[in-house]
Structure 1
Amino acid sequence: MSSPEQQPAPPLATAPDTSRGTAEGPALAPAGALPALPDHPPAASASRWSRLSRGAVLAIGACLGAAVVGACWTGVSLAGGNGTNAAAGASASPSVSTERTEEVEGPFSTDGTLTVAGIGAGLEPGELCSGTGGYSDIDFGTQVNVTDAAGTLVAVGSLGFGQKTELGCEFPFTVDDVTPGSKFYEVEVSHRGGLTQTEDELRAGGLAFTLGD
């Protein structure tokens, strides 16, 4: 039995060309193409401020202005206060300096003792005594002179009561209102000659002079 004759396969159909038009009609637009943009963009959305009434805008502006004025006033007040305090401190400083200067440069006092050695034999320690023999001018009330470097008498004191000590007869003295500012001073009891002292030594006090052996 003979096999049937094979039939030729039908030709494949080709997709129509849509990229260009035909005589019958225009070409088709490709799928998914975006629509053309309009000539004018849409107007922007209205501003939030435009939504507020005129009264609300004025109220907000007034509050902001008041805040700015208040801040400026506070800054000016603080600056003025600091200036006042600084001025007060500056005005107080000269008075303090003046007081310290007067304390340092004002008149001062000094004190000390004068011992006449080898007198007061037979006296008990602490008993009253006086200068004898060649020291008879040394006694209670004898003048103590303080002169400056120019030889000017700047202060005067006197001896107190003499008391017997192991060394002899000791007389205390005090001199007040010594004029400051001299390079050195001389302290003289009676006419016995001056002993040179600096101002610091006189201010410190506790001077100790001795006459005799």
Structure 2
Amino acid sequence: MKKQFAVIGLGRFGGSICKSLSQQGMEVLAIDMDEDKVNEFSSVATHAVIADSTDESVLKNLGIRNFDHVIVAIGDNIQSSILTTLILKELGVSKITVKAQNDYHEKVLNKIGADKIVHPERDMGVRIAHNIVSNSVLDYLELSDEHSIVELIANSRMDNKSIIELDIRAKYGANIVAIKNGDEIIVSPQADQKIYKGDILIVIGSDQDINRLERQLLNRD
């Protein structure tokens, strides 16, 4: 059975989520007060409606409590975001993800019971900063305040050497969880797995250990 999602707020962030969920074959209800945005997503989402999400009766009539997951992606109106989240909680929506504008907004959302809070602009800024500081970093995903997963490009110092020869875990405290070589992906590679220049290494570890790995091994070609 397909999961049912509702996306409230069809700006850049909400619109992107709406499109991605629809492409994955999910049932999506797209909600916004702007008629032009709703019309834009009428052919993307399963249903698209013009509605004020701060009106409890409107959300009730839309049957919002029956949705598996509601994403509140309201743009700059923090008050509307908070009020919408509060109404969704009171209506008994099982899972609510909310886009936060700042740390104050996040604190309020936490207090009223949002299940997941995201900072898309801040998180993307962190990923871009890692990418432009180091030529070896292709992508970066923060797992917690202290741990991350990164995609790193193997350089000539790693070329034709096995994982055990490089001794990355012992020297740097990080773990290679997968290696991409062209179309081939090696998951949980063995210690004798060879690495070649240009391979993409998916590495997990503390930020401190990953930074040391980048600095001492990858950025000294």
The answer to whether the superposition gives a TM-score over 0.5 is no
Q: Which of structures 1 and 2 has the larger relative contact order (alpha carbons within 8 angstroms, sep 6+)?
A: 1
Structure number with bigger Rg: 1
TM-score, normalising length: structure 2 = 0.20
1 or 2, which has the higher helix percentage? Answer: 2
